[in-house]
Structure 1
Amino acid sequence: MGTVTPRSCRFPLPELPDCAERDWARRAIALLTGDARRSADTHLIKPVFPGLEGIDIYLKDESTHPTGSLKHRLARSLVLYGICNGKIGQGTTLVEASSGSTAVSEAYFARLLKLPFIAVMPRSTSVQKIHEIERFGGRCHFVDSSAEVYAAAQHIAVQTGGHYLDQFTNAERATDWRGNNNIAESIFAQMEWEANPVPQWVVMSAGTGGTSATIGRYIRYRNLATRLCVVDVENSAFYDSYCSGDLTTTCVQGSRIEGIGRPRVEPSFLPDVIDHMIRIPDAASLAAMHVLSNRIFRRVGGSTGTNFWGLCWVASQMRQAGQTGSLVSIICDSGARYTDTYYNEDWLGAQGFDLAPWTTALERFLDAGSLDLSVS
């Protein structure tokens, strides 16, 4: 009888690949993991305000990350998300639409992985943030308004054959909201041995919406009694959308508080995990920024001011209701990035800001606890 050749041998099969890209991905993830392990978790500080007896205030200080902001966590997650989905490989150009802090952190990780990085941002972005992006080897591409960043970033990614990190879509997807050392898990772990370990409220602002989505989901996942209040600013679509339920809401002008407030409702903004929203004037945000900076002896940014004013408003509501307990908010970044704007008297004057009434009201509240901080 003749020898029978197996059917599979009648067709040429490709050789096994060398999997060079997979090897690069493994090395890249090892670098990102090593960087994370070298960085201790951020502090949860507890400033004392005489007028708020019975209400413990905690501030999660994200400014101590290696790139100086809350966005360090997001940037690492976005890069990992791109690698693990096979979208980022050796030599891939990373592109982002950003008002600054996310791009600073992404430029840091791009340099760590030896990848090109391009940030698309409004021309009004603070000079300090631009310099930090460039210091990490990134390149900045400017557009006239914040509404233009999305299309420009997508176009550059196509042109370069790169990957659009797209924080506004992927922020809520790239972060594991159930844990894995996200900001929510960190906050509640650090609160565990406090007198009131389960906060009455977590109060924060929204930029991509990713952090509020993570915290809101985590609270529900852990079956905690904590509620989430999100504070919006002028020239932002989030608050109006939350009130109306219309996710197509837009805003013509861009926010003057860098890093938060958006001209459209971003895909990562999840209103259904938020328990309450308020909107406050930009002058209140900046006044609160100055007041908190003086109270903790170092400068914070404008988005932190928004958070702090919102936290004080919640505290005022608790006092009126005779409630006690703990409140948590976030220090998003350092005020060092805003010396030419929010901490510059000439700039504030040119913008028409009068912070004095807001500053006086907040100082009186923190010292005496007797002022109604209602926001119309």
Structure 2
Amino acid sequence: MSTTPCTDGTRAWVHNAIALLEQEATRSADTHLLRLDFPGFPGIAFYFKDEASHPSGSLKHRLARSLFLYALCNGRLRPGQAVVDASSGSTAISEAWFARLLGVPFVAVMPACTAPQKIRDVQALGGKCDLVEDPAQVHARAAEHAANGACHLDQFGLAERATDWRGNNNNIAESILGQLRREPQPEPTWIVCGAGTGGTSATIGRYLRYRRLATRLCVAEPAGSGYVHGWRTRDRDAVASKPTRIEGIGRPWVEPGFIFDVVDDVVEVEDAASIAAALLLEDLIGTRYGGSSGTNFAACLQLASDMRARGERGSLVTLLCDRGRRYQQTLFDPGWRDAHGLDIAPWQQALATALATGTFTTLGGSS
């Protein structure tokens, strides 16, 4: 069957675009896996996967590459076509980075309350930001752009299927297990991650089962999120009981990519605890990471505290999700925290005590 010159040109463009994404993946290599040991947790090792070291600055670099590949290989993205997605920031930054690489226009539909630095980062990469006052309307606005001809990458609808969880594309689960191969505990007790789209937890949970590992998966979530209530009740219509200030996670409802049955536990973390833990990570590692990294760390300390109480040894792996500079005007601004009633001092003391004694006290909140 013959094809028109236009179709031939489109196919050639798609082939070149896929080659560019493959070249970028090779250049990016992999992210570091850092190890820390704490006096209060003898026999329990903590590992931190530094996803903020990706070229676009976050864990979402992997997802954005996968979403572009998925769109290209399904015939949904054509030369010169605009690309759109709904995002609170980090995914949008990574998608803008790849859109620039492929030479296509990009529009990020973002809540107007998104951290200003994230908006500037998208714009610096050539993307446009369509800011929506009501965060609940970002999906509808992205659909409007798609109805006008844009390719909707749809991170919330496609994240869990766009990445091959079996590991033939060096997904994050495969990467973690490969980097642990020569460690004293190559099979960790827990892997801990947050849930934004649900794609990362789905990939990790599926891969652990595919590899027939005893490692359990914990999702670390802001207290009261839709995922917390949904997972505990197995109700896909569950909604959050309160909002969170930790961007990227703590969804108000259960996204379609969140797979209940691959998650072994959910640990709730108060927003102030997440910020305090992110600042503690900066003291320990020398680099500032965002609030979701703090959420992950606080959840790890809770799990390790429980392990120690049971006399268990082992290791925990979690993710350092994005760069802290994106939150200088929000989470890491004392005035902003005061305005939002976030007192981190008690949590800073509780975290320091946990590192020294192996016991994490949750101050009457969820953690």
Calculate the TM-score normalised by the size of structure 1. 0.94
Q: Percentage identity across aligned positions?
A: 52
Selected match of 1:54 from 43, 55, 69: 43
Match of 2:286 in 1: 297
Match of 2:273 in 1: 284
Report the 3-state secondary structure (helix = DSSP H, G, I; strand = E; otherwise coil) of the residue aligned with 2:77. Answer: coil
Task: String of CA shifts for 1:116-171, please: whole Å, max 9, x gaps.
Answer: 10000111111111111001100000111321111011111212x01111101100
C-alpha deviation, 1:319, in angstroms: 0.3
Contact 1:203–1:327 (Cα < 8 Å) also in 2 = yes
Match of 1:165 in 2: 153
Larger radius of gyration: 1
Selected match of 1:237 from 219, 226, 233: 226
Where does 1:109-148 land on structure 2 (aligned, <5 Å)? 109-148=98-137
Specify every segment of 5 or more residues in structure 2 that has no aligned partner in the other structure, as ranges.
none
Match of 2:164 in 1: 176
Report the 3-state secondary structure (helix = DSSP H, G, I; strand = E; otherwise coil) of the residue aligned with 2:84. Answer: strand
Report the 3-state secondary structure (helix = DSSP H, G, I; strand = E; otherwise coil) of the residue aligned with 1:269. Answer: coil
Q: Which amino acid aligns with 1:345?
A: P
Q: Which amino acid aligns with 2:152?
A: Y
Specify every segment of 5 or more residues in structure 1 that has no aligned partner in the other structure, as ranges.
1-13
Report the 3-state secondary structure (helix = DSSP H, G, I; strand = E; otherwise coil) of the residue aligned with 2:92. Answer: helix
Q: Which amino acid aligns with 1:287?
A: A
**1:314, 1:110 → 2: CA distance?**
39
RMSD: 1.4
Where does 1:26-41 land on structure 2 (aligned, <5 Å)? 26-41=15-30
Task: String of CA shifts for 1:245-283, please: whole Å, max 9, x gaps.
Answer: 110112376431011111221011001100111222111
Report the 3-state secondary structure (helix = DSSP H, G, I; strand = E; otherwise coil) of the residue aligned with 1:198. Answer: coil
**2:360, 2:259 → 1: CA distance?**
33
Task: String of CA shifts for 1:339-367, please: whole Å, max 9, x gaps.
Answer: 11111110010010111111101111112
**2:96, 2:197 → 1: CA distance?**
18
Q: Which amino acid aligns with 1:169?
A: G
Q: Which amino acid aligns with 2:90?
A: S
Calculate the TM-score normalised by the size of structure 2. 0.96
Match of 1:16 in 2: 3
Report the 3-state secondary structure (helix = DSSP H, G, I; strand = E; otherwise coil) of the residue aligned with 2:36. Answer: coil
Report the 3-state secondary structure (helix = DSSP H, G, I; strand = E; otherwise coil) of the residue aligned with 1:50. Answer: coil
Where does 1:1-376 land on structure 2 (aligned, <5 Å)? 15-18=2-5, 19-159=8-148, 161-179=149-167, 180-234=169-223, 236-251=225-240, 254-373=243-362, 376=366
